[in-house]
Structure 1
Amino acid sequence: MLPNWLTEEYLQPRLRTYYKDDQLKVLKVWSKPATEKGQNYMSTMIRIHVDFQKSDGLVQKKTYIVKEALAENIPQAAIFIEYDVYNREMDMYEFVLPKMKELLEEAGLKGKLTADTIVVDREHSTMILEDLAQYNYVNADRVKQLDLEHTKLTLKMLAKFHAASVILRQRHPELISKSLFTHFFSRDKKGYTEVYTGVFRALLRFVNGQPDLKENYGDKLEKLLNFVMEYGARVFDVSERDLQTLNHGDCWTTNIMFQYDDAGSPQTAVAIDFQFSNITSPAIDLHYFFTVSLREEVQEMESILVDSYYHDLRENLEKLSYKGIFPSIEEFRLQFECRRFMCLLSHLFKPVIIYNGSEVTSDFSSVYKETEEGLRFQKSIYDSEIVIRSTRRLLAILNGKGVLDLQ
């Protein structure tokens, strides 16, 4: 449903500014939902169709994505407000991403980074963005997860995004808002404590329901429960010796879009949705992406993928004329490995991310609360062959590395 304030009269001056055409005239606006029920817990998204006439007399038909913050009376909205996710994303689209795009283009690093921003309207907590579907960008299948080809493209995109952010911090520190130093495990925030302890308990219930998993990992996970937020905070902690970038912060399949050639091969990747972008080690983005979005056979290539990302990042920074300290490949591998706990934190959301069952909920709290609906939904998302297999695989790896032991 189109918000009552989103009229032809509202859009016309804003589209005139975007298209640099003072004679542009909006003729018609109508809308359709941009996501299905249960696919987006963070915001309301609609696709608007706009017919407009430009100064040359030609009528164009375009679509745009309108992304609006959840109403404050919706239960999960309080958490998102505490972590300033809406202002953060508006800052990203209004100030940060356009400047990163400019820096990349100046260095000859062409290609789309994300959707262009048409309007950032803070009064309505709303953004109007370019609709990437118009350019044949689509999401890959979140249930099937990504093959090697899609993975490599995504890592190249991340290496470009991260490199641009390093230069941005050096040249335009005024664009780095306080919210970009906030993350799920920020020690001065409490809202995500309930979320992460809730999804951790869901993992525990699953593990305790499998006799062999309970025997091998049950006690260790039970002890870890009380430390999940502190260990999460340590993962995000960085020192002067660590490589620091602006991370996407929520890099998984649905937040990446691909363009394909006529043969169906992916050619380019762009990122969308920047509510959780934050400044920390780029290893956080990599661990999260690898854990929840890659097929198992691609996860097996982790060390090769990390090295490939590292070389792309270094090459991009050279093109951007970066003069600062940069870690050796051995140092970067160590920075990546010491954040291995991020794999467990990421995996806590994997069951819902790749869920393809019949239980549908539009209430984010069902993912972590022990209500009747919540427990039913959590049981359902763990009742999946791929979730069971990937949980077994991950726990064995983490246990072998000592990650499940108290630190």
Structure 2
Amino acid sequence: MNTNQADIKSWLKQALEKENFEHFEVKLSAEAEKGDGFMRQVIFVTVEGTTKEGKHKRHDLVLKVSKDNETFRESIGKLAFEREIHMYEDVFVAFEALQKENQVLAPFVAYPKCYKCFKLKKAEILILENLRPLGYEMHDRKICFNLDHTKAVLREYAKFHALSFALKDQKREQFDKLLGCLGDVFLEFLTRPSTKRNTNKSIQSVLTSLKKRGEVHLYEKFAEITKGGADEVVKMYETVDEQAVMLHGDCWNNNFMFLYKDNDRTTPTDVKILDWQASFLRSPECDLAMFLTLTSSRSAHLFDQLLKEYHDQLSDFLVQLGSSPDLYTFEDLQKHWKKFIIAAAIFAPLGFAFLMAEKQDLPDFGEMKEGLDIGDFMDLPVPDTDAFYERLIPLIDYVDL
């Protein structure tokens, strides 16, 4: 959508209605760089003004505006934005209420404050707090997380997933109404012929490269892991069982912002989770497998330890919410994990190609032409580099067939 100053001020006036401004001025700070997000235009604004009581007030905000390309909107864009709006307006509100009812002392709040959402005829807009002035930073998408970053996210995922289990346990009717009838953005993406084609193409590129490198064992194991190809991933994701929870869904580096203390970038003190457009209902291990694969594969030898820590935290939070940890035992987790780590490994070459691509090579869905879909924009070459295989080989070694 082509936004102008008048549109922005109109949206902000409605979004900040409860802030009691007598008048305010809007300053456009910047737009996000290519590669920070593919589905939307991101505008950073600063709002400064005077309240009706004469006090000075300032808000640093982010406007997420959907691409107005009709082909993209029909393909997946509209559904994705409507999903994120549903998360902020309905799901998080229900989760906040459940935590308040149970007097949770350290609740799940690992997402930006949302001031207002709009659903227009040809666009959707979300107005969120800008985390950057608060000190939050993105991690370099080309570099794997260290353990402290990985654990920070897993702690929040444990709380987030526990909330679904508890809501389903205590308020099944509300859970079904809120989460049970959602469409599936991620499965819609996976089932596209173009997505399948590019997934299988990336697998073949890796197999060819491993053979050339003389990595016979790795070649044979990866061939066995990926023998079902993209169809196997779809098959795994088609099942929604009784232990399904609401997922983040889009678990790559750029969708987390970290807070640090004293310029120590090795150990975050807090994390916020961004971009809830791909949220859907599945096993918690869908999130964990994709997250650990895309962000932390160089630590694959520690995945089992990380899963145990995650499960301990999920169990503890379930108790705080007034439900039983037996709703999702560690045995349940292991059963689901074995399935979804295979799916994540099949998808990994294509995912790593995106993570390691230069910004100028990344897709712009606003340029999607009629007759194409989102999968056609996922055709990136798989790097035949040491950096790529330093991410992939630990994952291949880890997967237990």
| TM-score over 0.5 for the pair | yes
Report the counterpart of residue 99 of structure 2 in structure 1.
Answer: 104
Equivalent residues in 2 for 1:303-322, closer than 5 Å: 303-322=304-323
Question: Where does residue 78 of structure 1 map in the other structure?
Answer: 74
Distance 2:297 2:339 in 1: 23
Relative to structure 2, which stretch is displaced further, 40-49 or 347-356? 347-356
Of Structure 1 and Structure 2, the greater helix share is in: 2
Q: Provide the secondary structure at the position in 2 that maps to 1:115.
A: coil
Structure 2 counterpart SS, 1:57: coil
SS in 1 for 2:32: coil
Distance across 2 between alignment mates of 1:268 and 1:190: 32
After TM superposition, list the pairs within 5 Å mapping 1:228-239 onto structure 2: 228-235=230-237, 237-239=239-241
Which of these residues, 266, 291, 294, is aligned with residue 293 of structure 2?
291
The residue type paired with residue 166 of structure 2 is I
Render the CA deviation track for 1:61-99: whole Å, top value 9, x for unaligned: 3221111111133x54433148x2111111111111132
Tell me the equivalent position of 2:125. 126
What is the TM-score normalised by the length of structure 1? 0.83
Please tell me whether residue 95 in structure 1 is matched to residue 90 in structure 2: yes
- 28, 32, 43: which one aligns with 1:31: 28
Is the 1:26–1:50 contact (alpha carbons within 8 Å) kept by the matching residues of 2? no
- Cα deviation digits, residues 131-177 of structure 1 (max 9, x gap): 11122111122222211111111110101111122233443333226
Residue correspondence of structure 1 range 154-165 to structure 2 within 5 A: 154-165=153-164
Say which structure, 1 or 2, has more relative contact order (CA 8 Å, 6+ apart). Answer: 2
List alignment gaps of at least 5 residues for structure 2.
none
2:184 alignment partner in structure 1: 182
Structure 1 residues 3-82: aligned runs within 5 Å: 3=4, 5-17=6-18, 19=19, 21=20, 24-73=21-70, 76-81=72-77
Give the distance between the partners of 1:115 and 1:32, measured in 2 at CA.
18
Q: Distance in 2 between matches of 1:307 and 1:149?
A: 15
Distance 1:218 1:268, change over 3 A: closer
One-letter code aligned to 2:362: T
Q: How far 1:102 sits from its partner (Å)?
A: 3.3
Alpha-carbon separation, structure 1, partners of 2:223 and 2:331: 34
Q: CA deviation at 1:295?
A: 5.2
TM-score (norm 2): 0.84
Counterparts of 1:218 and 1:247, CA distance in 2: 27
Task: Say whether the 8 Å CA contact 1:8–1:26 is kept in structure 2.
Answer: no
3-state SS of paired residue (1:153):
helix
Query: Which residue type is aligned with residue 318 of structure 2?
Result: L
In structure 2, do the counterparts of structure 1 residues 34 and 164 end up closer, same or farther at CA, with 3 Å as the change threshold? farther
Is the CA contact 1:166–1:245 (under 8 Å) kept in the aligned structure 2?
yes
Distance 1:391 1:190 in 2: 21
What is the distance in 2 between the residues matched to 1:94 and 1:113?
A: 15
SS at match of 1:27: strand
Q: Partners of 1:294 and 1:221 in 2: how far apart?
A: 19
**SS at structure 2 position matched to 1:8:** helix
Corresponding residue number in structure 1 for 2:201? 201
Q: Is residue 334 of structure 2 the alignment partner of residue 333 of structure 1? A: yes
Change (3 A) 1:333 1:93: same
| CA deviation vs aligned residue, 1:216-262 (integer Å, no higher than 9, x gap) | 3686588534xx2354332452433xx32111111222111111112
What corresponds to 1:405 in structure 2?
none
Q: Does the CA contact (< 8 Å) of 1:162 and 1:247 recur in 2?
A: yes
* SS of aligned partner of 1:354: helix
Bigger shift: 129-138 or 299-308?
129-138
**Equivalent residues, number:** 380
Q: Distance in 1 between matches of 2:194 and 2:201?
A: 10
Whether contact under 8 Å (1:147, 1:295) holds in the other structure is: no
- Which range moved further: 282-291 or 320-329? 320-329
8 A Cα contact 2:233 2:343, kept in partner: no
